[in-house]
Amino acid sequence: MIANQIAPPPTFLQEASQLLQQIDAELPTLRQNFSIQKAHTLMRLTHTLKGAAATVGLDAIKTTTQTLENAFKALCVPDAKLTSVVEGLIFDSYDCLKLLFSVQLNKTAISEFDILERMTGIVSKLQENLGDQFGQDGQLPTSTQLGVDVTQSIFESGVTEYLDELEHALEISDAAILTDLLQAQADVFVGLAESLRLPGFGDIAQATLVALQQQPVQVVTIAQLALVDYRAGQAAVLQGDRTQGGTPSTALKQLGHEPIALKKSWIRNLWKWLNQPISLPRWSPQSKNTQNSQIIPLVAKIQPLNTVFHHCRQVLNECTQQQGKPVDVQVKGGEVLVDQTLLNSLYAPLLHLVRHAFEQDIEIPAVRRQQGKSTVGTIQLAARQVEDCLVICIWNDGCGSNPNLICKQLQPQIKALLGKITVTHRPQRGTCFTLRLPTEL
């Protein structure tokens, strides 16, 4: 069992959850909408998560995330192609990562050794399928290959919104609000500057933090100076500077007399910047007493389950072509509507179940013929709405290899969705996994 003597800080768990949500949103369409930019985005997300895990001593998560980062990095090359096999291995790796996180997020008791042993096999297969690109320190894709100037995009949208927020806070001049906002923004800007290799912009953030520690009563002056320096650095970047990003003014540096060890939050960085515009609430006199700003949640999107069922069918069709093991894939209830967040969370466990059904349960035609079965195996995906509960059944008519083990492996993921997974097995006749999930998370 995993036993952590020191629990990771709450900030790590909160921000790691946000990162996992971003990965959840990207992974389901990895192959349908594959591009170097998408692979690069996922590589950055996993790299940030890996660094965060390392700083709090979660070595198993760090190791597992490193595998995902290496896989995405191997796909960040011109003419890269994502096969269904590699996609499946990526999903399997992500399954392992989610299991490890379930220990920290839900206090689930699982065997770290078993997961790392499973990862060893996955790494071997990734090396076999991705070749020398996997695990190599190759060149990252250029802005041209990504199809977008990442730095320009970040400074046009995300940085602008942050600095506008600081400007609005200065209009109120509440010391507590300004202090919290300056510290939070500087923390983000330090990581951003490191990632984009703009040391000058990072120096402004560092000088701001030093000044806050040395002269906290002058927070309004510090905010005014920092805003001017940030705006100047932003202007330089938007005009083409890709090596510096401005410099802290003499006045700002004079407010701080000693260098301090800066606490870096490695998972506050690029996932907000590279994947979506940052949207923060505007400060107003009515919000003067608000201690913590809150981001207005996005309106949940509703999608039919066919979105994920169709992807499972595609994966099984490709597996059939590659391995010569015919399977009839049947889908029922794909029209059931599901919240987008829940749908994204279902991709990994459902793909895991259908892949297991094909690779481990469904026999080859010769064996099925000897058993008096049709030479074509059957895998059925079915769903229905029962009051406020979503019921999904994955059934196959194969031999049923270790159904209880598979159920146990997926239990933490399903439990994280506040659901349950059960299995019904008849030797040599068929296996049915049933997922029961609340329709709203």
* Residue spans per domain, the chain: 10-146, 150-287, 304-438
Residue 150 is predicted with a pLDDT of 67
> 30, 94 in Cβ contact below 8 A?
no
Round the average pLDDT of the chain to a whole number and report it.
Answer: 79
What is the C-alpha separation between 140 and 110, in angstroms, rounded? 36
Region for 272 from its dihedrals, namely left if φ exceeds 0, alpha if ψ lies in -120 to 50, beta otherwise: alpha
For residue 109, the model assigns a pLDDT of 64
Residue 353 Cα distances to 315, 332, 394, 424, angstroms: 12, 16, 7, 14
Encoding tokens for residue 53?
């895990």
pLDDT of residue 148: 57
Q: CA-based angle 249:253:254, to the nearest 5?
A: 115
Q: What is the pLDDT of residue 3?
A: 41
- Assign domain 10-146 to its CATH superfamily: HPT domain (1.20.120.160)
**Better-scored residue on pLDDT, 115 or 378:** 378
Q: What residues have CB less than 8 Å from 212, skipping those under 6 apart?
A: 179, 182, 183, 219, 222
In the three-class reduction of DSSP (H, G, I as helix; E, B as strand; rest coil), residue 389 is classed as strand
* Six token digits for residue 169: 């806070």
More confident residue, 241 or 147: 241
Which of 79-93, 223-237, 361-375 holds the top average pLDDT? 223-237
Please compute, for residue 251, the number of CA atoms within 13 A of its CA located in the half-sphere on the CB side.
10
Q: Decide: 352 and 316 in contact? Cβ < 8 Å.
A: no
Whole-angstrom Cα distance, residue 205 to residue 253?
Answer: 11
| Separate counts of helices (H) and strands (E) for the chain | 17, 7
Tally the C-alpha atoms within 13 A of residue 48's C-alpha that lie toward its C-beta.
Answer: 31
Percent of the chain with pLDDT over 90: 20
Decide if pLDDT at 288 tops 60. Answer: no
Radius of gyration of the chain (CA): 25
pTM of the model: 0.46
Query: Pick the residue with more confidence: 214 or 1?
Result: 214
- For the ranges 102-111, 291-300, 398-407, the lowest mean pLDDT is seen at 291-300
Lowest mean pLDDT among 62-76, 253-267, 364-378: 253-267
- The total number of residues shown for the chain amounts to 441
**Fold match, 10-146 / 304-438:** no
Amino acid at 53: A
State how far the alpha carbon of 263 is from the alpha carbons of 123, 150, 190, in Å: 33, 26, 10
Predicted pLDDT at 291: 36
| Helix ranges restricted to H, 258-339 | 270-275, 306-323
Residue 173, by phi and psi: left (phi above 0), alpha (psi -120 to 50) or beta?
A: left
* Residue 79 confidence (pLDDT) above 50: yes
265: three-class secondary structure by DSSP: coil
**Pick from 234, 253, 237, 249: nearest CA to 185:** 234
Taking the C-alpha atoms of residue 19 and residue 48, their distance in angstroms, rounded to an integer, is 9
Q: Could you tell me if 36 and 81 are in contact, meaning their C-beta atoms sit under 8 angstroms apart?
A: no
Cα–Cα dist 51/195, whole Å: 12
Written as six digits, the tokens of 313 are 């069918």
> What's the CATH number of domain 304-438, 3.30.565.10, 1.20.120.720, 3.10.50.40, 3.30.540.10?
3.30.565.10
pLDDT classification of 183: cutoffs 50, 70, 90: confident
Please report which confidence band the pLDDT of residue 210 belongs to, taking 50, 70 and 90 as the band edges: very high
Which range (12-16, 84-88, 162-166, 281-285) has the least confidence?
281-285
**Can you tell me whether residue 43 is helix, strand or coil?**
helix
pLDDT digits (tens, 9 = 90+) for 98-131: 888 877 766 666 677 778 888 888 888 888 888 8
Question: Mean pLDDT: which of 78-82, 142-146, 355-359, 436-440 is highest?
Answer: 355-359
| pLDDT the model gives residue 7 | 66
16-75 pLDDT, tens digit per residue, is: 777 888 888 888 888 888 888 788 888 888 888 887 787 777 888 888 998 998 899 888
Closest to 101 measured CA to CA, from 17, 36, 180: 17
What is residue 420's three-state secondary structure?
Answer: strand
